[in-house]
Structure 1
Amino acid sequence: MKPRGPQHGQAMVEFLIIIPVLILLIFGAVQAALIYSAKNGLNYATFQAARIASMNSAQYTDIRRGLLRGMYPMFSQFPENERMERTATEVDNFVLVTRISPSTAMFAAYGEDHGDLFGDGEERKAIPNSSLMYSQDDDAGLPLQDANLLKIRVQYCMRLIVPMVDRLLSSGSRFVDRARATKESASFRDVSRATSSNYEAVCRSRSGFVISSEATVRMQSPAVDDEDQCASGGRMICP
């Protein structure tokens, strides 16, 4: 039986149809691998930040120092003499820290006057972390043991470098943020949320993808409630 018509060029048409999808899948796999690597690096950096801050009164300056130390290997593609500067730029502009615990309510319940702790002439309140087994819990139901746990959430807006995929993922990150914002009680300051949101607060002017990590360690020093480090517009939120 003779064919109904010429079949020349059929394979080329099928190839042209499938090649954009194939390229997008390949690019997507590459970007997914980069995101996975960045997430692992952020997990390590978040733990370093919490560990250092637990020994230094839970201050943002020490959280930042831990993030710099932990995120430094994430920028190994830059020359060694520029790597730390690049890391500091990322931390200072595209990282947002939320101090989940101790919360403002815990400082109000257990904060005690500890005088001039930092030698700057200002008296501050701190949560004691010695002789805890003999201390009484607050009437409001906030255990002192929990107030001595430092829990932080670190959100990082990583730059997307793979063509086509970068626009899709950055748009998706914005969409998730807008979708959550429409839900009742879905606020960026709601500490019960485990993943990142408020895209603009983290990324600012960057079109990126927000990754998030949390770490919890026990305080090794009295936690100090320094209002300046949680000021409006800063890179740390204290619910």
Structure 2
Amino acid sequence: MMSRKFQTGQAMAEFSISIPFLAPIVLVMIMLLIQWATIYRDKMTLNAATFEAARAGSLNNGSKAKMRDALAQGMVPIFMRDESSALEVGRAYLMSKLYVEGSAIAKAGAQINILSPTPEIFDKHKVTRSGRHGNRWQEIPNDNLMYRKSDAKKITDEQHVNIQDANLLKIEVNWCKKLEVPIANWVIGKILTLTDPSPNPLDAEFVMYSPHKHQLGCNALGAIAGAGSGYSDYYISIKSYALIRMQTPFKI
């Protein structure tokens, strides 16, 4: 029978041999945890900014320009590098503004989609208004909603919407979050940039992942952003939704 002392020494020797193989795996896991923590932080910031964007839209006739401005203001924290500097706040706001509504490349990084009211809902509930100077426009009426008839109008065979629900503004915001943690950005990025995976589970190229439309835009943004440095940057698409009642008539 082996002595306890000999067994302890054998275990230490086996552990020492396994360290070179375990260390890279542990390092990758730590980097992945840090990267997912930054993604979660930016997702929480995006949730708050999306609500502010929806609120701005509800107060300004569903204006996308106002929503983009509110979104840019809400996303300033993720561009901050030194919170004690007033100049840094201005720089971060300009960076966020450019990302949301700047060049054609930057616009791929942030998208605001109005999910409701849709053009079909607008057409069914719109009314024509006239101004003092003879100008005319169309809008979804927003006044005295509690006294208006709640009869639902047919939008599609599966969708019927009344005037009260037509005044609910729902938006979706897609944001390309840059992956910045070393090692983890490459691991996650290689998965996100997979092209033409095989749908056959028996195929060596099979993966249970297919990037959606906005993720493909984030992949393109990463390729363009990293072109000058000779390697590709990696971005992951994160989404947020907000629903709020219109406080002004919705216009298109």
TM category, shorter: 0.7 to 0.9
Structure 2 gaps of 5+ residues are 83-87, 155-159, 198-210, 223-233
Between the aligned partners of 1:77 and 1:114, the Cα distance in structure 2 is: 48
**Structure 1 residues 108, 21: CA separation in 2 closer, same or farther (over 3 Å shift)?**
same
1:150-186: CA deviations, max 9, x gaps? 01011100101012211332343455x988xxxxxxx
* Shift of residue 34, structure 1, vs aligned partner: 0.4
Match of 2:221 in 1: 205
TM-fit CA distance, 1:143:
1.4
Q: 1:139 aligns with which of 153, 176, 186?
A: 153
Using the TM superposition, name which of 137-146 and 105-114 deviates more. Answer: 137-146
Query: 1:163 is paired with a residue of what secondary structure?
Result: coil
CA radius of gyration, larger in:
2
SS at match of 1:135: coil
Rounded Cα–Cα distance in structure 1 between residues aligned with 2:218 and 2:171: 15
1:9 positional shift: 7.7
- Specify the alignment match of 1:221 in structure 2: 248
Q: In structure 2, do the counterparts of structure 1 residues 171 and 137 end up closer, same or farther at CA, with 3 Å as the change threshold?
A: farther
Query: Mapping of 1:140-219 within 5 angstroms?
Result: 140=154, 141-174=160-193, 197-198=212-213, 199-202=215-218, 204-206=220-222, 207-219=234-246
Counterparts of 2:126 and 2:196 in 1: how far apart (Å)?
37
With normalisation by structure 2, the TM-score equals: 0.71
Distance 1:10 1:56, change over 3 A: same
SS at match of 1:124: strand
Identity %: 27
- In structure 1, the residue matched to 2:39 is 35
Q: How many residues align?
A: 203
1:84-163 superposed matches below 5 A = 84-92=93-101, 93=106, 94-115=109-130, 123-132=136-145, 133-135=147-149, 137-140=151-154, 141-163=160-182
Residues 1:57 and 1:156: Cα distance change in structure 2 (over 3 Å): same
Question: Paired residue for 1:190?
Answer: none
Moved more, 47-56 or 124-133: 124-133
Deviation per residue, 1:19-58 (Å, 9 max, x gap):
1110101101111110111011000000000011100001
| Residue deviations 1:97-127 (CA, integer Å, cap 9, x gap) | 111111111111011223579x9x9743211
In structure 2, do the counterparts of structure 1 residues 172 and 145 end up closer, same or farther at CA, with 3 Å as the change threshold?
farther
Relative to structure 1, the CA distance from residue 25 to residue 64 in structure 2 (aligned partners, 3 Å threshold; closer, same or farther) is same
Contact between 2:218 and 2:237, CA under 8 Å: does it hold in 1?
yes
The Cα RMSD (Å) is 3.0
Structure of greater relative contact order (alpha carbons < 8 Å, 6+ residues apart): 1
